[in-house]
């Protein structure tokens, strides 16, 4: 929040004393080669307004990270002792000198406090400026860049500079060098007649035997249509009743004008969850997000996420975050809109709230290599802040196997984006962030890996300690030289877990639809996590928070708490991809959840896994 009484005098003083900052020597802060698949068309209009986000360094972030791992480690005495909003903000706040010097620089360009907005910790400064001023400030030239395959366009530059004396006081500025194209992770979308679909399985078909499932079996129809009942049976959650009054909440993020339709939700509930009829969810609008409830404008992604997440967890209160803004725009509609990656808009908002859902699912991602490393790390640090506050974040792992997010192999671009054009597998971000839980996909009963399940190894983030044992075991099974040079064996490994990801029956614009993608897996796994949180909160225990240290600890000591997936692979980039195998693998992680066993573990009073 702004504090005008404090900052306006500083800004005004800067106007008087800091004018030379405008003309001092500059240093290149970031430079990238022309991005693959984009064409520089024309100079950006001088009056086009962009929203510059300036990241100030977080000198105490390593301390925050230490706290995060301690409160997330089931072996640690501080397990579950999450930090408050104020404690987190104090650990990401910049130095006063950084704030002062950046203020001086902005004021030298006529930008005083009234023109600025700041994050609660003051580690981000945002200002809307015309392209002409941004070019003067950053000693650069902005152009309209057009994406060759889609015609979408962004206003970007390939290099920018800042005054030399600010180099250690500014971490990054965007939008400048980021050419990402955020997309939802759904691979299949087929409209089916409901009666024809269900008629394919005889009513007297025997159930499928699955020892780890509720009652040891799953209805035969689940091999062609996934419903709430299928998931509850398969993941051993039949009969558990979450509380609506213990403070537990679940959240779903929505982007790219995806609207969660409440009329469709009622049709879904009538079809699969009749006890939830007439219940709904709260919608929060962020950065110009909309809530169009016209039935024909319903979003397949938003409906999939909300119907299954809220259907699995009813009567847990649900929230849908509708975030506006998207990186691409049409070059003939140069309106003053935000062209930043909208993850940051969502983070800005949610980190400023005191009350946040304990479980949040996101089914959108970018190719990791299209996100500048400095930006990816800062956004990832934002996710760490949420984890430290007790929030579990799930992200779909991707729908292109080991390739980029394109499910059609013919459209995959398996080349580096650094000017070398070297052949390379393409992990996705944010799933590559070590502070979130990446969810891969399975299909059928008994479960096998679904072919499009995104997986692999980050080229930006090193492998975190919590993965070392499980991932090293997998790497040791690979034949020497397997995919040498195509992936980073020392990178953060993806995914962590998996869940069903295809043949999901939802309602869209009043009709039944079959849909799939790791977009389905993320809200499914998130629903199971929310049920676990409900069980904990009802016993007076804190929420699970950042899950990954716990997931890998349980997998090491009680592996049957996850259903190990050992059949299938995730082809991409002209290769068969990796194989699902015993233990962790880069297709399905440690496997799919066994809610009954996980509940018994996480509701232990101290949750010291070694005592299982």
Residues 149 and 189 in one domain: no
Average pLDDT value for the chain: 89
pLDDT band, very low/low/confident/very high, at 12 (cuts 50, 70, 90)? very low
Residues 455 and 574 in one domain: yes
Domains in the chain: how many in total? 2
Does a structural domain hold residue 78? no
Residues 158 and 251 in one domain: no
pLDDT band, very low/low/confident/very high, at 3 (cuts 50, 70, 90)? very low
Give strand ranges (E) for 391-548: 392-396, 428-429, 437-443, 448-449, 456-462, 491-494, 497-500, 504-508, 511-516
Which domain does 445 fall in, by range? 184-201+213-611
Q: Is 585 annotated as a binding residue?
A: yes
Is 519 one of the catalytic residues? yes
Q: pTM here? A: 0.93
Nearest CA to 608 out of 78, 236, 83 is that of 78
Q: Among 301, 447, 459, 502, which one carries the catalytic annotation? A: 301
Q: Is 583 annotated as a binding residue?
A: yes
Backbone angles phi, psi at 217, to 5 degrees: -150, 160
Note the pLDDT of residue 19. Answer: 44
Spell out a b/e string for 478-488, using b for 16 or more CB atoms within 10 Å of the CB, else e.
Answer: eeeeebeebbb
Q: What is the pLDDT of residues 201-224, one digit of tens each?
A: 787 889 999 999 999 999 999 999
Is 301 one of the catalytic residues? yes
Residues 190 and 168 in one domain: no
Cα-to-chain-centroid distance, residue 44 = 30
Q: Among 119, 519, 526, 530, which one carries the catalytic annotation? A: 519
| Average pLDDT for 14-43 | 76
Note the pLDDT of residue 13. Answer: 39
- Provide the 10 A C-beta neighbour count for residue 270: 12
Does a structural domain hold residue 79? no
Residues 146 and 239 in one domain: no
Residues 148 and 191 in one domain: no
Residues 303 and 166 in one domain: no
pLDDT band, very low/low/confident/very high, at 409 (cuts 50, 70, 90)? low
How far apart CA 61 and CA 54 sit, in angstroms, is 17
The answer to whether residue 285 scores a pLDDT higher than 50 is: yes
Q: Among 123, 305, 404, 459, which one carries the catalytic annotation? A: 305
Does a structural domain hold residue 516? yes
- Report whether 147 contacts 38 (CB < 8 A): yes
Residues 229 and 261 in one domain: yes
| Average pLDDT for 331-354 | 70
Does a structural domain hold residue 207? no
Does a structural domain hold residue 597? yes
Higher pLDDT, 407 or 383: 383
How far apart CA 599 and CA 122 sit, in angstroms, is 39
What six digits make up the tokens of 378? 């800062």
How far apart CA 462 and CA 288 sit, in angstroms, is 35
Note the pLDDT of residue 328. Answer: 44
Q: Would you call the peptide bond into 315 cis, given omega within 30 degrees of 0 as the criterion?
A: yes
Does a structural domain hold residue 471? yes
Per mean pLDDT, which range of 191-195, 350-354, 360-364 is the poorest? 191-195
How far apart CA 213 and CA 237 sit, in angstroms, is 8
Q: From the DSSP assignment, how many helices (H) and strands (E) are in the chain?
A: 15, 29
Note the pLDDT of residue 9. Answer: 36
| Average pLDDT for 386-415 | 87
pLDDT band, very low/low/confident/very high, at 333 (cuts 50, 70, 90)? very low
Nearest CA to 498 out of 391, 593, 361, 581 is that of 593
How far apart CA 340 and CA 475 sit, in angstroms, is 37
Residues 129 and 197 in one domain: no
Residues 219 and 235 in one domain: yes
Q: What is the pLDDT of residues 555-607, one digit of tens each?
A: 999 999 999 999 999 999 999 999 999 999 999 999 999 999 999 999 985 45
Does a structural domain hold residue 68? no
Query: If you write DSSP's letter for every residue of 96-135 in order, what string do you get?
Result: HHHHHHHHHHHHHTT--GGGEEE-TTS-EEEEEEEHHHHH
Alpha-carbon separation of residue 591 from 426, 497, 587 (angstroms): 22, 5, 9
Query: If you write DSSP's letter for every residue of 426-455 in order, what string do you get?
Result: --EETTTSTTSEEEEEEETTTTEE-TT---
| Average pLDDT for 275-301 | 90
Does a structural domain hold residue 556? yes
Residues 166 and 196 in one domain: no
Q: What is the pLDDT of residues 449-508, one digit of tens each?
A: 999 999 999 999 999 999 999 999 999 999 999 999 999 999 999 999 999 999 999 999
Q: What percent of the chain has pLDDT over 90?
A: 75
Note the pLDDT of residue 121. Answer: 96
Residues 255 and 113 in one domain: no
State the CATH number of the domain containing residue 309.
3.40.50.200
Task: DSSP letter for 580, please.
Answer: P
| Average pLDDT for 114-129 | 95
Is 275 one of the catalytic residues? no
Per mean pLDDT, which range of 54-63, 197-206, 225-234, 282-291 is the poorest? 197-206
Note the pLDDT of residue 501. Answer: 97
């Amino acid at each position: 929040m702004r504090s005008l009484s404090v900052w306006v005098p500083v800004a005004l003083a800067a106007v008087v004393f800091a004018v030379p900052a405008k003309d001092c020597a500059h240093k290149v802060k970031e430079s990238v080669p022309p991005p693959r698949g984009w064409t520089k068309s024309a100079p950006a209009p001088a009056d086009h307004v962009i929203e510059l986000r300036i990241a100030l360094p977080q000198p105490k972030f390593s301390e925050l990270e230490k706290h995060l791992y301690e409160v997330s480690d089931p072996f640690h005495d501080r397990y579950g002792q999450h930090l408050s909003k104020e404690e987190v903000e104090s650990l990401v706040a910049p130095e006063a000198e950084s704030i002062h010097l950046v203020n001086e620089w902005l004021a030298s360009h006529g930008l005083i406090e009234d023109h600025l907005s700041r994050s609660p910790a003051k580690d981000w400064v945002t200002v809307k400026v015309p392209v002409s001023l941004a070019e003067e400030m950053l000693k650069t030239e902005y152009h309209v860049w057009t994406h060759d395959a889609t015609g979408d366009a962004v206003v970007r530059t390939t290099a920018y500079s800042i005054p030399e004396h600010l180099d250690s006081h500014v971490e990054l500025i965007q939008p400048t060098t980021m050419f990402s194209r955020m997309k939802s992770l759904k691979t299949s979308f087929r409209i089916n007649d409901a009666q024809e679909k269900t008629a394919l399985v005889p009513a007297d078909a025997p159930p499928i035997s699955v020892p780890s499932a509720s009652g040891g079996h799953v209805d035969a129809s689940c091999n062609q249509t996934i419903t709430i009942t299928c998931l509850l049976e398969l993941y051993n959650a039949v009969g558990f009743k979450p509380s609506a009054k213990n403070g537990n909440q679940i959240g779903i993020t929505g982007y790219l004008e995806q609207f969660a339709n409440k009329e469709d939700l009622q049709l879904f509930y009538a079809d699969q969850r009749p006890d939830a009829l007439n219940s709904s969810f709260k919608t929060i609008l962020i950065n110009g997000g909309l809530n169009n409830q016209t039935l024909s404008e319903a979003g397949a992604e938003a409906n999939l996420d909300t119907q299954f997440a809220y259907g699995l967890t009813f009567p847990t209160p649900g929230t849908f975050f509708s975030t506006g803004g998207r990186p691409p725009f049409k070059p003939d509609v140069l309106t003053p809109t935000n062209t930043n990656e909208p993850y940051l808009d969502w983070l800005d908002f949610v980190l400023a709230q005191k009350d946040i859902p304990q479980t949040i699912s996101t089914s959108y991602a970018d190719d990791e290599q299209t996100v500048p490393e400095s930006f990816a790390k800062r956004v990832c640090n934002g996710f760490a802040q949420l984890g430290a506050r007790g929030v579990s974040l799930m992200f779909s792992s991707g729908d292109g196997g080991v390739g980029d997010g394109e499910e059609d192999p013919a459209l995959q671009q398996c080349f580096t984006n650094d000017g070398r054009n070297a052949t390379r597998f393409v992990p996705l971000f944010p799933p590559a962030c070590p502070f979130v839980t990446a969810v891969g996909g399975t299909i059928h009963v008994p479960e096998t890996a679904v072919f499009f399940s995104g997986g692999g190894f980050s080229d930006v983030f090193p492998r975190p300690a919590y993965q070392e044992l499980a991932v090293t075991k997998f790497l040791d099974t690979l034949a020497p030289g397997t995919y040498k040079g195509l992936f980073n064996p020392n990178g953060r490994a993806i995914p962590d877990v998996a869940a069903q990801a295809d043949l999901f029956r939802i309602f869209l614009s009043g009709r039944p639809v079959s849909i799939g993608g790791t977009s389905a897996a993320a809200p499914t796994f998130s629903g199971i996590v929310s049920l676990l949180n409900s069980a904990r909160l009802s016993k007076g225990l804190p929420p699970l928070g950042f899950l990954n240290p716990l997931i890998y600890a349980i997998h090491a000591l009680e592996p049957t708490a996850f259903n190990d997936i050992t059949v299938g692979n995730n082809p991409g980039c002209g290769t068969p991809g990796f194989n699902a195998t015993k233990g962790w693998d880069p297709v399905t992680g440690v496997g799919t959840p066994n809610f009954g066993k996980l509940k018994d573990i996480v509701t232990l009073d101290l949750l010291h896994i070694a005592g299982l």
